[in-house]
Amino acid sequence: MAVLVAKRTVSGFSCWRSSALSLRGTLGRSARDAARLPSLVPGCVGHRRLHTEEPVEVDFRRLDGKDEGIIEVLMCRHKARNALGHVFVSQMRELMTTLSCDSAVRVVILRSLVPGVFCAGADLKERALMNHTESDLFVHSLRSLMTQIATLPSPTIAAIDGVALGGGLEVALACDLRTAAYSAQMGLIETTRGLLPGAGGSQRLPRTVGITLAKELIFTGRRVGGQEALDMGLVNRAVEQNQAGDAAYREALSLAREILPQAPIAVRMAKEAMNRGMEVDIGSAMAIERMCYAQVIPTRDRQEGMAAFIEKRPPRYTGE
């Protein structure tokens, strides 16, 4: 398996890749080339698999046509309800590294192909076999995965069509935006298991819903449905579940389509400015905004946006 490395910069990511295997190249293939790839994924039919020796628990799909630029990350560990085990986390981390280096990605949607479940959280069967050191190292790997999701250059949307508990909610919290079905159940339930959220939940939940409400939810381990999650600002949009069980995904796709026409470099830099600015004082945040703004000034997209405004036509952004 190739080793891919990403280095963070102000303008996004600079990437290097191994010549042994380029997953980025796979992501960037044309539809004709992709059709020649031999492997299909059990449970994720029609989608290309990332690994040849492991069971596929995380896959992806590149949308085309009017939705070109949208990538769907498909969680499909059916037997374990997308529990965060070694293989699942490894495959998700590899895919996140790949997506961070792909400039063709405009929006990323994380969704589950397991009915009624977004992600059930920790794989307690695997965790029970770990000693203290192994458990600590694995939780560190989980924390790194959440950071990878959070620092993807493009906007990310979690489509919560079912249960998102513990680490499952931490995955969703690492995304920029969240949609949920009213019937979904969300919660950081670690205190009911003698633990606390260890993959970013204790930090990202307060930043999302406020410190006092986050303390209540974490101290009690309480679960909330889609409507309550919307009311408290945990999710951006909530909808009635449909017969197919994918209403939150449909809403996430609608939201992605609203983002898609916008200038991609500007969107990436806006995300960078907000994410980095939230962690510092207002003066430093203004300096970060200035640096990010400077990145979009010389782009062709900025020139196209101005020209489209003057000519009273829709802009045609290319990400350059």
d(CA 234, CA 227): 10
What's the confidence (pLDDT) of residue 287? 97
What pLDDT does residue 33 have? 36
Q: What's residue 181's pLDDT?
A: 98
Residue 305 and residue 226 share a domain:
no
Q: Is residue 320 part of a domain?
A: no
Quick check: is 319 in a domain? no
Are residue 214 and residue 285 in the same domain, yes or no?
no
Residues 188 and 275 in one domain: no
**232 and 283 assigned to the same domain:** no
pLDDT, position 15: 40
Q: Where are the beta strands (DSSP E) in 10-69?
A: 12-16, 40-41, 44-48, 58-62
Is the same domain home to 155 and 292? no
The answer to the question of residue 70 being in a domain is yes
Q: Compute the distance between CA of residue 208 and CA of residue 168 in angstroms, rounded to an integer.
A: 16
The DSSP bridge partners found for residue 111 are 74
Number of H helices, E strands in the chain: 13, 14
Q: Give yes or no: residues 175 and 226 share one domain.
A: yes
- On whether both 24 and 123 belong to a single domain, the answer is yes
Alpha-carbon distance of 92 to 185, in angstroms, equals: 23
Task: Report how many domains make up the chain.
Answer: 2
* Per-residue pLDDT reduced to its tens digit, 233-252: 999 999 999 999 999 999 99
Residue range(s) defining the domain that contains residue 177: 5-259
Pair (151, 270) in one structural domain: no
* Residue 44 pLDDT: 44
Tell me which DSSP letter residue 84 carries: B
Looking at residue 34, its pLDDT comes to 36
Which amino acids are annotated catalytic? 122, 167, 170, 190
Say which CATH number the domain at 30 has: 3.90.226.10
Q: How far apart are CA 60 and CA 42, in angstroms?
A: 13
pTM, whole model, 2 decimals?
0.83
CA distances from 36 to 26, 41, 120, 150 (A): 11, 14, 34, 33
Q: Output the domain CATH number for residue 274.
A: 1.10.12.10
Question: Per-10-residue mean pLDDT for the chain, 320 residues long?
Answer: 35 34 36 33 43 82 96 94 92 95 95 95 80 86 95 97 96 98 96 92 96 97 97 97 96 97 95 95 96 94 91 90
Q: Count Cα atoms within 13 angstroms, Cβ side, for 27.
A: 25
Percent helix, percent strand, percent coil in the chain, to nearest 5? 45, 20, 35
Which pLDDT score is estimated for 123?
79
List Cα–Cα distances, 205 to 48, 96, 212, 233, in angstroms: 33, 22, 10, 10
104 assigned to some structural domain: yes
Name the burial class of residue 66, with classes exposed (0-12), middle (13-18) and buried (19+) by CB atoms within 10 angstroms of its CB: exposed
